[in-house]
Amino acid sequence: WDGLKLSNEVLGDWGEVISLSVGSTELFCHSNVKLETAADFKGVKFRTMGPWGEILTTYYGASVVTITGGEIYEAADRGVIDAFEYCPASINWPMGFHEVAKYIGIPGIHSPGAGSLVIVNRASWNALPDDLKSLLKDEFMTTAYQDLQLYMYEDSVAIQNYKDYGIEFFTLSDEFQQDITAKSKEFFMKEYVKDPEFKKLWDNLEEFVATYREQDVVNPRV
């Protein structure tokens, strides 16, 4: 629950965070070239945005293009972009991307999950009785878990659709995944040393990841 607490600390008087929506892991990319290693990204016109785009440009020599989701299909069809990332498989499939890109890269190491905060007006929230606050929090949290399960099911259906269509899947090498992790941390450490608030959030995240990995050893691998 630290995330909820810290979110409210960051927002201050701007609003009250009561829950979040949850999404599943994105596909690493759709592409017309295989991108299995760091060297494969050199000069590739790759649609993405934000920090991931900066990382691809700075460390891997990609030519990053930022366009809206609705422009991706035509850009890929015309060869304006060589590869792109967008969303989980269940969202990408109805977008028709299988018609304009012959490969899918996995795993979605750049975006292993997605979430959006549920934010309400703090004054209005404080005016509610405690029983309604508890009910709303429980309902939003339940919906978040249900949404995640639905995404995971629909993703599995979409993956099979891609395979049936004849899309070829490729997997990033272990070395490349480790390098992405290292380079991403190096990138964010620049902000870490400048912004005390970012440092606080990052340290909390690192603590959570360490705790999660301790218990993850009990999960089966086959």
The structural domains of the chain, with segments of one domain joined by +, span 2-173
Residues 105-120: what's their mean pLDDT?
93
CA 205 to chain centre: 15
Residue 115 confidence class, pLDDT cut points 50, 70, 90: confident
Query: What's the pTM?
Result: 0.90
Q: What pLDDT does 140 receive? A: 93
DSSP 25: P
Digit-coded pLDDT (tens) for 156-190: 999 999 999 999 999 999 999 999 999 999 999 99
DSSP reduced 3-state for 84: strand
Per-residue model confidence (pLDDT) at position 154: 98
**pLDDT at 216 exceeding the cut of 90:** no
Ranges 86-90, 104-108, 141-145, 160-164: which has the least confidence: 141-145
Residues 93-99, mean pLDDT to the nearest whole number: 98
Q: In the structure encoding, which two tokens stand for residue 70, read together?
A: 């609705």
Q: Are 117 and 7 in contact (CB under 8 A)?
A: yes
pLDDT 10s digits, 18-58: 998 889 999 999 999 999 999 999 999 999 999 999 999 99
pLDDT for position 222: 81
Q: What integer pLDDT is reported at residue 98 of this predicted model?
A: 98
The answer to whether the CB of 5 falls within 8 A of the CB of 12 is no
Q: How far apart are CA 16 and CA 146, in angstroms?
A: 22
- Residue 120, sorted as left (phi over 0), alpha (psi -120 to 50) or beta, turns out to be beta
Instruction: For the chain, give the percent of residues with pLDDT over 70.
Output: 100
Banded pLDDT at 1 (limits 50, 70, 90) = low
Nearest CA among 33, 41, 64, 49 for reference residue 176: 41
Q: Which residues contact 166 (CB under 8 A, 6 or more apart)?
A: none
Please state which CATH number belongs to domain 2-173.
Answer: 3.40.190.170
Give 176's contacts (C-beta < 8 A, 6+ positions apart): 36, 37, 38
Are the CB atoms for 20 and 114 separated by under 8 Å? no
Task: Identify the pLDDT of residue 139.
Answer: 95
